[in-house]
Structure 1
Amino acid sequence: MTQVTAYRAAILHSLADPAQVGLDASYDYYEDGILVVADGHISDIGPADQVLARLPAAAELLNFEHKLITAGFIDTHIHFPQTEMIASYGEQLLDWLNNYTFPEEGKFADPVHAKRVASFFLDELLRNGTTTAMVFGTVHKASVEAFFTESDKRNMRMIAGKVMMDRNAPDYLLDTPESSYIDSKDLIERWHKKGRQLYAVTPRFAPTSTAEQLDMAGRLLQEYDDVYLQTHLSENKQEITWVKELFPDRAGYLDVYDHFGLLGERSVFAHAVHLEQAECERMSETDSVISFCPTSNLFLGSGLLDLPAMENHNIRVGLGTDVGGGTSFSMLRTISEAYKIQQLQQHKLHPLKALYLATLGGARALSLDDKIGNLAIGKEADFLILDLHATPLIQTRMNNTHSLFEQLFVLMMLGDDRAIAETYIAGQRQYQREQASK
């Protein structure tokens, strides 16, 4: 017999991009609502009095006080091997890679190390309310095997890939065009669409791949037309200059990837904070995606993404924490920094737009909005229970709010992992904060 569980609390979820439909049409909110889950999917949602009237008699009903239910957060760019080097001091991108990142990633030649870090990383995501992420492994095939094995155990919907990197890195981190193709192909065959796991072809960024390797990446995308592509783009001005030196025949950074057939609806480019007009137009033409990584862009001094400009070009944008360049696993902290970045450019990031970016916008960026991203009936039941009294300060501030939008903004500005009371994956609770109470 199907187990039916109903969750009663305030409920808020995104329906569409506020920039496209306006604020009022972009969300559903039930001050006293019920979310019903059966067989890992959402089977009903609505005002409590209406849902109670049609709830099966055998359903379990769970009541939550001072809580808000919303869809699970979606992180469109993060590096699991950089977990233990987060908050490494005082460098910009290229020096930071050489001094911190590459030595750390060298440890992932050891499958035992990879398994331990993958397990911690996934548990940290759950603790922060992230239910789906697009994830970099290392150049080592075993790092991605370990990641997918641990993710599959938790039934999380994850996208990940083995880094392809055959130059401009330490010898112990280099593969070859041929070995990167073979290893990636083996991982695709083993893991892509196994349960909720999905694969992303993963050249680190143009400077660490030869033309031959980027050609192999394009070949993989042709052979497997439903896999993803993830890489970095126009993060740092020094990096952009380097790319132009390495690929003098190409019109610019994006054109390097375009030349090898790496643009498209499942291609996610992290950062993109220094795009030229023609590059924005090409991103839009190919329906390619930007992952906006606020905490990393600030921490590494890379630059500020002009979000409205990307919207004007109809480019899909998701949020990324970019751990370990990013300084927090928390999408709430990431939203907070995104707000500040837009403020610096005289743009406003409305709380409903921020919620959209962290949930349904991320799902659309990853072409998964038919499965996840909000609490629509039929979607996979990845959702959060947020604690509106998570800390004394948050509780005090909530008592002084006068609207839903204010409450949401308080969570954005003051919230972090402590605001995540419970995290559910396909209807199963995978995390519960010890202090959380129903």
Structure 2
Amino acid sequence: MSTNLQAFRASLLHLLDDPSIAGDEAVVWHEDGLLLVEDGHVAAFGAWDELAGGLPEGTAVEALPGRIIAPGFVDAHIHYPQTDVVAAWGARLLDWLASHTFPVEQAFEDRAHADAAAAFFLDELLRNGTTSALVFGTVHRTSVDALFEAALARNMRLIGGKVLMDRNAPPALCDTVASGRADSEALIRAWRGRGRLGYAVTPRFAVTSSDAQLAMAGELAAAHPDILVHTHMSENLEEIATVEGLFPEHGSYLGVYDRFGLVTPRSVFAHCVHTDAADLRRLAEAGASAAFCPSSNLMLGSGLFSLKQACACGTRVALGTDVGAGASFSLLHVMGEAYKVGQLQHEALDPLHAFYLATLAGARALRIEHRVGSLTPGREADFVVLDPAATPLLARRAAAARSLRDKLFALSILGDDRVVERTYLMGRLAHARDGAKD
């Protein structure tokens, strides 16, 4: 072992598969565990009694009694330019875009504004325990340059892209097929593979892209087999009706994307609230993913995503905050919102499944599960230290918890950023509740 060895003693939790399919065998929980990190990667993860005897002589062990170490959260859908419209009142999707989103996105042409917004956004992710995310920029190339530069400085594993939008939007936010291609290709060349960064071709949604632009997006995805496709689908009934009017010959919303080569194993479709079983099965066949964004869907009155139906169809699902329509950066909060959405449909979400959706499922959707999403030895050491006693009510509730499920459920319903005591990126402290950093 190198001299760059860190040892943490705490309760440890991660998942190796979807527990709704694989059962509790997918859950790895050590009430008294040892996490070893070497050169930014997980060297060992297991029970204290089994691993402590093998520690090199003189290894300093940081004891974190009562804390839970878990993989960093993975946000499968979020908009960094919309940070300033979180909690914007009184509109549904299309009106909300026109009234709130489009006005604030126009400011991202200015690089100084984009830099300041990107820095705040990434620090907010880390404060909430999110270590990886799939992120929308704006139509401006500068917005993505700013985001990637800030992520590179923090050594975050982040995937983002420039919005493609050539119609049905303010002129200041429209590109063209040619400029959208040129900017996207330039960003791919400049950033893909630098540090821990990845790129996603990002048409906003079918409403704001012409046939020619969607075709170009499909060509980009085909030409670069290591980039993702990131867009929205079937979020809102007015949106769906608009798409049907714009593309009457395509059969379904997914059919629009399918025609242009955008339904791939590397595709993440945000929302899918009103997606029927046939299209969910098509997503499963393609290996594409749906990003379930319950906070946003409730805030905009978009509808109730059926996780049960999606899982029955074999569709990959992960959780997204969808900030700024989503009301919180906290994936703990989003787990709680997902439970409430399920309750309204008589579908009780298991807390272990919720935790999977916020960690390994997100990594799988972003095709980075070989890097992050669990704390399997060899993975990058992106992890959080959670404090179940972060508030007096949580402390009382956690002390009465009868099982791991009970404890995690309490965290998802009562928890927020205060629960995240520390966030680590490749073994380096990136956020601490007390303000300390490496």
What is the TM-score when the length of structure 2 is the normalising length? 0.98
Query: Contact 2:108/2:138 (CA < 8 Å) preserved in 1?
Result: yes
What SS class does the counterpart of residue 78 from structure 1 fall into?
strand
User: Following superposition of structure 1 onto structure 2, how do residues 265-344 of structure 1 map, counting pairs within 5 Å?
Assistant: 265-344=265-344
**Distance in 2 of aligned mates of 1:321 and 1:18:** 22
Moved over 4 A (4+): none
**Distance in 1 of aligned mates of 2:305 and 2:59:** 46
1:13 aligned residue: 14
Query: Contact 1:4/1:58 (CA < 8 Å) preserved in 2?
Result: no
Q: Residues 45-65 of structure 1: CA distance to partner in whole angstroms, max 9, x if unpaired?
A: 111122111112243311112
**Distance in 2 of aligned mates of 1:196 and 1:152:** 7
1:195 aligned residue: 195
User: Following superposition of structure 1 onto structure 2, how do residues 175-214 of structure 1 map, counting pairs within 5 Å?
Assistant: 175-214=175-214
- 2:243 is matched by which residue type in structure 1? V
**Distance in 2 of aligned mates of 1:134 and 1:424:** 18
What SS class does the counterpart of residue 183 from structure 1 fall into?
helix
What SS class does the counterpart of residue 25 from structure 1 fall into?
helix
**Distance in 2 of aligned mates of 1:18 and 1:413:** 20
- 1:97 is matched by which residue type in structure 2? L
2:36 aligned residue: 36
- 1:168 is matched by which residue type in structure 2? N
Q: Residues 131-159 of structure 1: CA distance to partner in whole angstroms, max 9, x if unpaired?
A: 00000000000000000000000000000
Query: Contact 2:294/2:334 (CA < 8 Å) preserved in 1?
Result: yes
1:218 aligned residue: 218
Q: 1:209 to 1:435 in 2, by over 3 A?
A: closer
1:155 aligned residue: 155
Q: CA RMSD in A?
A: 1.0
What SS class does the counterpart of residue 2 from structure 1 fall into?
coil
**Distance in 2 of aligned mates of 1:77 and 1:427:** 25
Query: Contact 1:200/1:227 (CA < 8 Å) preserved in 2?
Result: yes
2:99 aligned residue: 99
What SS class does the counterpart of residue 322 from structure 1 fall into?
coil
1:68 aligned residue: 68
What SS class does the counterpart of residue 160 from structure 2 fall into?
strand
Query: Contact 2:214/2:260 (CA < 8 Å) preserved in 1?
Result: yes
Query: Contact 1:127/1:423 (CA < 8 Å) preserved in 2?
Result: yes
User: Following superposition of structure 1 onto structure 2, how do residues 338-357 of structure 1 map, counting pairs within 5 Å?
Assistant: 338-357=338-357
2:380 aligned residue: 380
- 2:406 is matched by which residue type in structure 1? E
User: Following superposition of structure 1 onto structure 2, how do residues 102-251 of structure 1 map, counting pairs within 5 Å?
Assistant: 102-251=102-251
How far is 1:307 from its partner? 0.5
Query: Contact 2:78/2:322 (CA < 8 Å) preserved in 1?
Result: yes
Identical aligned residues as a percent: 50
How far is 1:234 from its partner? 0.2
Q: 1:435 to 1:169 in 2, by over 3 A?
A: closer
**Distance in 1 of aligned mates of 2:61 and 2:4:** 11
**Distance in 2 of aligned mates of 1:339 and 1:148:** 33
**Distance in 1 of aligned mates of 2:263 and 2:320:** 19
- 1:42 is matched by which residue type in structure 2? V
- 1:179 is matched by which residue type in structure 2? S
**Distance in 1 of aligned mates of 2:160 and 2:396:** 40
How far is 1:276 from its partner? 2.0
What SS class does the counterpart of residue 35 from structure 2 fall into?
strand
- 2:341 is matched by which residue type in structure 1? I
**Distance in 1 of aligned mates of 2:349 and 2:144:** 35
2:432 aligned residue: 432
**Distance in 1 of aligned mates of 2:9 and 2:264:** 40
Query: Contact 1:12/1:68 (CA < 8 Å) preserved in 2?
Result: yes
How far is 1:384 from its partner? 0.4
How far is 1:435 from its partner? 8.2
Query: Contact 1:269/1:290 (CA < 8 Å) preserved in 2?
Result: yes
**Distance in 1 of aligned mates of 2:209 and 2:238:** 17
1:368 aligned residue: 368
Query: Contact 2:81/2:108 (CA < 8 Å) preserved in 1?
Result: yes
Q: Residues 204-247 of structure 1: CA distance to partner in whole angstroms, max 9, x if unpaired?
A: 00010011111110110111111000000000011000001011
How far is 1:278 from its partner? 2.1
**Number of equivalent positions:** 435
Moved more, 95-104 or 54-63: 54-63
How far is 1:406 from its partner? 1.2
Query: Contact 2:281/2:314 (CA < 8 Å) preserved in 1?
Result: no
2:5 aligned residue: 4
How far is 1:162 from its partner? 0.2
Q: 1:284 to 1:343 in 2, by over 3 A?
A: same
